[in-house]
Each structure stands twice: as C-alpha cells, then as structure tokens.
Structure 1
Amino acid sequence: MRSSTSSQFVAVASIAAELNAVLQVAKEISLAAANAKAIAFRAGEKAKGFKPITDFINELAKDTMAVVNRINADTLNLYRLTVAEQRMREANRHFDLAVAAAAGARHADSLLRVRETARQQAEACHGEFSIHVDDLLNQLSGILYPARAARVIAANSRIEASQAGEYLQSLQAVAESVDRAAQIINEKVSKCRGALVAISAGYAQGNQGQL
C-alpha cells in the first residue's frame, strides 16, 4: 500500500508540474496575441483580417488559463485526499495489529468497532478520490478544445499574414508560435490524462480486497 500511495504522490506532483507548464504556455499565447495586435495595428489595411484573429487568440489563452487554474485547485484537493487516505490506511494497519494483539481480551470488541469506523472513513475517501479523478479527466478534455482551435486559428493566421506585405514575417512568426504552443498544450494535457488514468487504475487495483 505504501508503494501505491507513493506512486500517487509522484503522479499528482507530475500532473501539477505539467499543468504549470500549460499555464506558462497559455500566458505566452496571450503575449503573442498582444504583440500581433500591435503589429497588425501598424500594418493597417494590409493586416485588416489579422486583427480579429488576435482577439480570438487572446480569448482562447484566457479561457485556457482559467480552466488550468480551476484544475490546479482540484489537483491540490487530490493531493490532500492522497495524504488523508495514507493516514487512514496507516491507522487501519495499527488497528489490525491492536485487534490481533487483543484477541480474547475482555474489551476486544470495542477495538473492532473503532477499526470498522476507520475502515468506513477510508472507503469514503476512496470514493471521493475516484470522483475527483473523473472530474479532472473531464476538465482536462475541456483544455484540449481550445488547443485544437488554436491550431486552426494559427493556420488561418498564416493565410492572413500572407496579405500583410512587409509585416508578413512578423505575423507568420506569431502564427508559428501559437501553433507550437497549442502542440505543447496538447502534449502536456495528454500526459496529465495518462497520469490520471494510471492513478485511477493503480488505485482501484491497490485497494481491491483492502476495503
């Protein structure tokens, strides 16, 4: 059980690190949108079609940051649940030893009741943990949509940039940075989802026969 819980700690920490990377990339997208807007303003009519695209890119970045911040809060709850369950499992282990040592003693039944209460608390923690994992998986799916949309926008940005004359390279660089950032977000989110699925599977397997 300890190795299983240790794996959970590592996985949750890994998810938090990946989400922090997503947050930083989303901030970079927002900055790229601001730079593109300034370039489009200087380009005037040559980049007329690029201006609304920069607003859309910025909105996508803000939406992504908002979702990541919410998920970070839920990831912290997942960490707390992992800590709580570790303590409960350790308490159960001590109760099992105490019950075994008190076998045949006059008030041994009272230990059985306390042990059962601790076991029920561990079951409740198990259920809450599973709910949080499922919720996080759904929220992570929500990040993938703006990442895909950003790639489509990047493609459209390249087309619009081709009309911008001497500003072509600057605006194309923005399109490339947005596309690259969207790919990174997709990779990071996929890693988070993989870690959550692994946690869920390992958690279920590690708890079979222990509840």
Structure 2
Amino acid sequence: MSNQTKSQFVAVASITSELTAVMVVAREISLAAANAKAIAFRAGDKAKGFQPITDFINELAKETIELVTNINVSALLLYRVTVNEYRRTSAYNKFQQAAKLADNAVYAKSMQAPVNNAKLRMEECQRQFKRDVALLLGQLETVMHHARAARVIAANSRIEASQAGEYLQSLQAVAESVDKAAHTIHDNVQRCRRALSVYRNN
C-alpha cells in the first residue's frame, strides 16, 4: 500500500471519528434548547426575548444532526472510493510489471491494451476521489456556518438572559453550553477540513 493511500485511509477514519463527536455535541445542543425552553416558560415575561431563541437553538441542532448524518454517508462513500483506488492502483502496477517481464515476448504488444485499461480505471477512481473530497468539504463548510450561527445565538442568549431576573444564571448556563458546543463543533469540523484539504489540489 502506498503512503498516499495509507494517508487517505487515515484521513477518512479521522473524519468519521470527528463527526461522531460532532453528532454527540449537536445532540447536547438539542437538550440545551429543551432545557432553555422549559426555563423560559417558567420565567414568563422575564424571559420573553429568550423564548424564540430556544426555537433557533433547537432548529440549529436538528439541522446540524441532519447535516452530519449526510456527511457520514459521504465519508463512507469516500472510504469505498479509497478502497477501489487502492485495488485499481495495485492492478495497474501488476499489469505494468507483467508487461515489462513480457517485453521481449512474441505477444508483448497484446499486454498494452490491459495496461492502458487498468490505467484509465485507476485515473477515473482518482478523479472520483477528488470529486468526493470537494463535495465533503462543501458539506463541512455548511456545518461550520451552523457553528458560527450557534455562537451568535449564544451571544444573543446572554443578552436576553440578563433580563431574566432570578432565572439569569440558569439561562446564562444554557448560553454558555451552546457557545461551548458550537466551539467544539467548529474545532472538530476544522480538523476534518484540514485532513481533507490536502487532497483537494493533489
């Protein structure tokens, strides 16, 4: 197995691991939204401005979970393409070796067609890998956008929480948990993007 192929396997495996962590954090945001909704309901008019924010938090969490689910599917497809690329590269190398060994044989020229065919199949797989990487990077960028939006919502949540009287600490704790979760998602997704961006222009 070439170093390039090994690094592709490692990249895809690390992405899967990071996305699992993102999914856990997105579910935590969803729970935070449910807690915030209950607190805002109890606070009544004191947390009037906080109530619609809880809906935004919950919607954002749901969308992030859906996005990560789709990205996991894309990561699995990328893994399969990596496996295919490894197999086709191995086949091409073997055909090349066989062609070299048969260089002086009577029917040496008959080896050229299988070598060319194996090369075409390998190159198509490499192009597919690049296309899938580009798709995955686009999906990850959307998750990054959601993480940035969650941080903005967390900042607004703190402002609204300051008006909530005795419920201030409870609502600020929700805002902090959303901000922390958004920061974690951002960092995890950034690591995914770094792992993939190496292959975008290769």
The one-letter code sitting in structure 1 at the alignment partner of 2:135 is D
Q: CA deviation at 1:47?
A: 1.1
2:145 aligned with 1:145: yes
Cα deviation, 1:54-108, whole Å, max 9, x if unaligned, reads 0000001111111111111111111111100101111111111111111122222
Give distance in 1, aligned partners of 2:178 and 2:197. 28
The one-letter code sitting in structure 1 at the alignment partner of 2:159 is I
Q: CA deviation at 1:200?
A: 3.3
More moved, 101-110 vs 51-60: 101-110
Give distance in 1, aligned partners of 2:127 and 2:198. 17
* Correspondence list, 1:131-170, <5 A: 131-170=131-170
Aligned partner of residue 105 in structure 1, secondary structure: coil
Give distance in 2, aligned partners of 1:10 and 1:131. 18
Q: CA deviation at 1:160?
A: 1.1
- Any runs of at least 4 consecutive aligned residues in structure 1 with deviations exceeding 3 A, and if so which? none
The TM-score normalised by the length of structure 1 is: 0.92
Is the contact between residue 74 and residue 132 of structure 1 (CA under 8 Å) also seen in structure 2? yes
Aligned partner of residue 115 in structure 1, secondary structure: helix
State the identity %: 59
Cα deviation, 1:112-156, whole Å, max 9, x if unaligned, reads 111111100011111111111111111111111111111111111
Aligned residues: 202
Give distance in 1, aligned partners of 2:111 and 2:181. 57
Give distance in 1, aligned partners of 2:89 and 2:122. 7
Give distance in 2, aligned partners of 1:53 and 1:116. 60
- What RMSD over aligned residues (CA atoms) do the two structures have, in Å? 1.2
The one-letter code sitting in structure 2 at the alignment partner of 1:32 is A
What 5-or-longer segments of structure 2 have no aligned partner? none
